[in-house]
Amino acid sequence: MLLKFLRKRKNMKRIMWGLAILIIPAFVIWGAGTSAKDKSNKPDYAGKLFGKKISYDNYHNMWNVTRDYAIKSFGNNVPVEVISQMAWSRIILIEEAKRERLDVSDKEVVERLASYPAFQRNGSFDKRLYKSMLQDKARSFEEKLRDDILISKLKDRATSGVKVSDQEVQGEYKKTHEKIKSSYTLITFADSEKDAQYTDIDLEDFYAQNKEAFKKNEQVNVKYLEIPLSDPGAEELAYKVLDQINVKKNLEEPAKTNSLDIKETGFFSADGEIPNIGWSYDFANASFELQENQINNMLVKTDKAFYIIQRGKKKAPYVPGYSEIKDSVKKAFIRDLSIKLSQKKSEKICLDITNSASETFEDTIKKYGLQAKETDFIARDGYIPEIGPAAEFVDTAASIKIGFISKPLKTLQGWVILKPVEIKPIDELKFIEEKEKFQENLLANKKEEEFNRYFQDTVKKAGFISYTEK
């Protein structure tokens, strides 16, 4: 679920910035920590770190704090896994700060409070305004703020030795703003698929050597009632049907009473698209949380409808037999072989270009039915049609002298042979103007990287164990 949230919803950048706001490292902690979710007899505390037991009250209080931060930063649909990891991150960092004998005075908390525009009137901190806004939540807000400052101090101490030199700043600025125009030709994988030869034995051997690549994740089948948002009174009807279901304990009678069809998704995985539903974290999450035949006692809302769902059978993760997925194995084998065949072809073309002193780059590739294309001036954050993100392409071009060719470079669609044509250097006057701000950002990024490493080391040192995963 977490990976789908980061990838499908394109929230990675927002996660990174949000965690920076929280002064928490951008890495999740499970790679370094230990999850005890497979233990049948869990203790009556949430986890352990530095040999210290963390109570469920402590964990849940921190969970609520990070949930509020997450909702403000990312909206309401943040996966609970993300919130849990953020909560544990805060707990670990606060404990580490205390071990480092860092503390935060009341004066520091007050100064931070006074700096918030929301609590100011006529440019000054207004205590009455502050009290009226927060009322009985003022104390918990101040403690949350105290923790933020404490973690900030820990970060400052851990990254105090990070510096950037003028040479490093200029080099990174050049990498970011320098643009290169190149000629190139693309030897696609697809063009070699027709040359891929194989036998049934080849396919069976390929399957045997790559079984894990064909593994199916855990899947569930779900029955559901659907009330489209486009229907008049959809929400009122959805709650009416849900109330009836909670009384009748089945879908059939309320469905018949309200002229609704009971539908089925068919088996789907948590990280896949739901048949006839589409991508929905809430629908998938609820489906996998339910027990077999259990009906969800809450409505699930997507962009197009309200759903009442009942979980059916669940399939454990498994590797399908060869006969079940022969067509998929065949496609994967042909793809794999076409990559190898097109690589050999590109290496032969590259050698021919290098040895053809009397021919141009363009003339040589024509003999192979290829054509030369030319990019615009592009930087590393650019994009090249049919090739994709330009970073590796531009890095390769920048490492070659003008007029020389590269070795075959693997891209999303095929192998590229490129020849840098012209470099557009950075604007030196603009660099001088932007240097200070660029240096600040570069230093901030380096400190974040250093703090991430420090955090991972801290998790290992703490002997972190969580009992909060299901």
Tell me: do 247 and 311 sit in the same domain. yes
- Whether residue 360 lies inside any domain: the answer is yes
Per-residue confidence band for 437, with pLDDT thresholds at 50, 70 and 90: very high
Tell me: do 393 and 262 sit in the same domain. no
Q: Measure the CA–CA gap between 441 and 370, rounded to whole angstroms.
A: 43
Tell me: do 201 and 221 sit in the same domain. no
- Whether residue 332 lies inside any domain: the answer is yes
Among residues 292, 315, 338, which one ends one of the domains?
Answer: 315
Beta strands in 235-293 (DSSP E): 263-264, 268-269
Whether 43 shows a pLDDT value over 50: the answer reads yes
The per-residue pLDDT for 174 is 93
Q: Measure the CA–CA gap between 357 and 420, rounded to whole angstroms.
A: 17
pLDDT average, residue stretch 123-131: 88
3 alpha-carbon distance from chain centroid: 6
Q: Measure the CA–CA gap between 403 and 313, rounded to whole angstroms.
A: 62
Residue 213: count other Cβ atoms within 10 Å of its Cβ: 13
The per-residue pLDDT for 122 is 87
Tell me: do 36 and 81 sit in the same domain. yes
Angle CA 304–305–311, to nearest 5: 125
Among residues 266, 294, 315, which one ends one of the domains?
Answer: 315
Question: Among residues 285, 280, 320, which one has the least CA distance to residue 303?
Answer: 280
Tell me: do 310 and 335 sit in the same domain. no
- Whether residue 429 lies inside any domain: the answer is no
The per-residue pLDDT for 404 is 93
Tell me: do 306 and 194 sit in the same domain. no
Whether 36 shows a pLDDT value over 70: the answer reads no
Per-residue confidence band for 67, with pLDDT thresholds at 50, 70 and 90: confident
Whether 19 shows a pLDDT value over 90: the answer reads no
Tell me: do 338 and 271 sit in the same domain. no
Whether 185 shows a pLDDT value over 50: the answer reads yes
The per-residue pLDDT for 330 is 96
Q: Measure the CA–CA gap between 207 and 346, rounded to whole angstroms.
A: 27
Beta strands in 379-460 (DSSP E): 383-384, 388-389, 409-410, 414-424
- Whether residue 323 lies inside any domain: the answer is no
Looking up residue 289, the CATH number of its domain turns out to be 3.10.50.40
Q: Is 10 left (phi over 0), alpha (psi -120 to 50) or beta?
A: left
The per-residue pLDDT for 42 is 65
- Whether residue 418 lies inside any domain: the answer is yes
Using CB atoms within 10 A of its CB, is residue 308 exposed (0-12), middle (13-18) or buried (19+)? buried
- Whether residue 166 lies inside any domain: the answer is no
Tell me: do 97 and 77 sit in the same domain. yes
pTM listed for this prediction: 0.65
Per-residue confidence band for 77, with pLDDT thresholds at 50, 70 and 90: low
3-state secondary structure of 354: helix
Tell me: do 343 and 196 sit in the same domain. yes
- Whether residue 433 lies inside any domain: the answer is no
Whether 390 shows a pLDDT value over 50: the answer reads yes
3-state secondary structure of 50: coil
By mean pLDDT, which of 71-80, 319-328, 452-461 is the weakest? 71-80
Tell me: do 140 and 60 sit in the same domain. yes
Looking up residue 410, the CATH number of its domain turns out to be 3.10.50
Tell me: do 419 and 459 sit in the same domain. no
Tell me: do 201 and 231 sit in the same domain. no
CA-derived radius of gyration, the chain:
29
Domain of residue 287 covers: 216-315
First-last CA distance in the chain: 14
Number of domains in the chain: 3
